[in-house]
Amino acid sequence: MPVEKRRGMVCMASEKLESGICIACGREVKGIPARQDFVIRAARKMRAILRMAPHHTVVENAHFEEAKARRANFEKSLMNYRLGAVLFFLFFIAGGIFFGGDAVSSLFAAAAGAIFIALLPYLRYYPKFDWDFSSNQRR
């Protein structure tokens, strides 16, 4: 997306800032909320179950560029690991056929290994901050 268009979105979003904890500096600020993806929703549920105070993640305008860069890195590692998972799966299956192993169990092992690899980058999860409010409705 061209830079001018993103800038326009920043202006549009300024009245939609929410108060929460800034992901970059940990201060309580008004900022852009993190997108409510499955990781954020799961973290919320965990905090609710553990009776911890709700933690609303936002990013200040001042830290937005940094957050965007870190999110881009995270998305890149997601892509790389997914590619790695697919390659692992294919090589594992190819190896299984080559060595004449049990096809069903090597399929399961290959799938389990591939899923594990694909999930690894979530250990360094970084949320997305954007203005897609259609997917960010709070209940």
Backbone phi, psi, residue 128, to 5°: -100, 135
Rg (CA), the chain: 20
Minimum gap (Å) between residue 53 Cβ and Zn ion: 19
Minimum gap (Å) between residue 21 Cβ and Zn ion: 9
**Residue whose entry in the numeric block shows the structure tokens 């268009």:** 5
Is 129 in a helix, a strand, or coil?
A: strand
**Contact residue for Zn ion among 20, 40, 63, 67 (CB under 5 A):** 63
Q: Is 67 in the site for Zn ion (CB under 5 A)?
A: no
Q: Is 34 in the site for Zn ion (CB under 5 A)?
A: no
Binding footprint of Zn ion, residue count (CB under 5 A): 5
CA distance 24 to 57: 10
In the complex with Zn ion, which residue's Cβ is closer, 24 or 107? 24
Structural element, H or E, at residue 20: strand 18-22
In the complex with Zn ion, which residue's Cβ is closer, 58 or 117? 58
Which 98-137 residues touch Zn ion, going by CB under 5 A? none
Q: Is 24 in the site for Zn ion (CB under 5 A)?
A: yes
In the complex with Zn ion, which residue's Cβ is closer, 63 or 114? 63
Report DSSP letters for 51-89, one per residue: TPPP--EEE-GGGHHHHHHHHHHHHHHHHHHHHHHHHHH
Single out the segment in contact with Zn ion by CB under 5 A; choices: 17-25, 71-79, 100-108, 130-138.
Answer: 17-25
What residues make contact with Zn ion under the rule CB under 5 A?
22, 24-25, 60, 63
